[in-house]
Amino acid sequence: MDFVMKQALGGATKDMGKMLGGDEEKDPDAAKKEEEQQEALRQEEEERKAKYAKMEAEREIMRQGIRDKYGIKKKEEKEAEAQATLEANAEGSLTRPKKAIPPGCGDEEEEEGSILDTVIKYLPGPLQDMFKK
């Protein structure tokens, strides 16, 4: 079959072989070139990130100057103040948001016997004797 293809195509069989998935010529320096290319890409990416970080820092300095000039607060500062105000206002309120359950208050399932012992402990002496029997 190769002979027929060579005759039909003339001298273009090298290129046809590559297009049909045949053996490609291997460059001995291909791995080295690939590694150099990857390193160049990494370096360009690092330079780009450094450039944009520098630009963002300059923008933030400019933003801070404007905030200082006009007395504007950052979003984070506003949210922190709003949260503190909400907590301060809600401290004595009946509708305040629920806080986490304190440790030891219903988190653990206790045995019924231990609960009964706790209740008996607070009863007067004669009643304690009745329940212990």
The tens digit of pLDDT for each residue in 42-88 reads 999 999 999 999 999 999 999 999 999 998 888 888 888 888 887 77
Report the domain count for the chain.
1
Q: Average pLDDT, stretch 25-30?
A: 74
Helix (H) or strand (E) holding 111: none
Give yes or no for residue 27 having a pLDDT over 60.
Answer: yes
Domain containing 50: what range?
Answer: 33-91
Task: Give pLDDT tens digits for 98-116.
Answer: 666 666 666 555 555 677 7
Angle between the 125-132 and 112-121 helix axes, to the nearest 10 degrees?
Answer: 150
Would 72 be classed as within a structural domain? yes
Would 55 be classed as within a structural domain? yes
Would 106 be classed as within a structural domain? no
Q: How far is CA 52 from the centre of its chain?
A: 22
pLDDT band at 35 (very low <50, low <70, confident <90, very high): very high
Which of 35, 13, 31 minimizes the C-alpha distance to 22?
Answer: 13
